[in-house]
Amino acid sequence: MRKLKNNELNRISVAEFKTTAKTPLIVVLDNIRSLNNIGAVFRSSDAFLIEKIYLCGITATPPNKDIHKTALGATESVAWEYVEDTLSLIKKLKEAKVNVLAIEQVENSTKLDTFQPKKGEIYAIVMGNEVKGVQQEVVNAADLCIEIPQLGTKHSLNISVTTGIVLWDLFQKMQ
């Protein structure tokens, strides 16, 4: 087997990305501290044709060299917007008939592997702060809380890893 070169991967251009039909998924970053995590979320969002990323609270915005380092240009392809207050954004998304999924460990959470998105629906996943997680008031406002089943000793996964897992799972189920 021979590794493929970048020019053999047949990726679309940024201009084509902007006009391509998107996966009906929105990512909401709720007070993410790490610029590398933010960049990685942009890159995963590009890979799965995500509609939009909302950067909320203390979450940094492009242009930023540390975001760019892991995003590798995805800040140019994926639509994004800064919104100061996550809760007010969640309320607006719900008014627009977007299903809001907080990705968080809570009582009676729905396990990611058992969750099945409804065809024709739009979903927003809310990813929380690296230490505090998704704000409790945002959890309260969400339609559902999704949890990735974990069997090891650690309490959580890195936010960029979690986002990648959730996006891949939902992307597959929506195809």
Give the pLDDT confidence score for residue 66 in this predicted structure.
Answer: 96
Q: What is the mean pLDDT of residues 63-90?
A: 97
Give the pLDDT confidence score for residue 44 in this predicted structure.
Answer: 98
Q: What is the mean pLDDT of residues 124-131?
A: 97
Beta carbons of 32 and 38 less than 8 angstroms apart: yes
Give the pLDDT confidence score for residue 133 in this predicted structure.
Answer: 96
Rounded CA-CA distance 146/111 in Å is: 6
Confidence of residue 4 (pLDDT cuts 50, 70, 90): very high
> Each residue of 15-31: pLDDT tens digit?
999 999 999 999 999 99
Rounded CA-CA distance 37/128 in Å is: 11
19-174 belongs to which homologous superfamily? SPOUT methyltransferase, trefoil knot domain (3.40.1280.10)
Q: How many residues does the chain have?
A: 175
Q: What is the mean pLDDT of residues 134-163?
A: 97
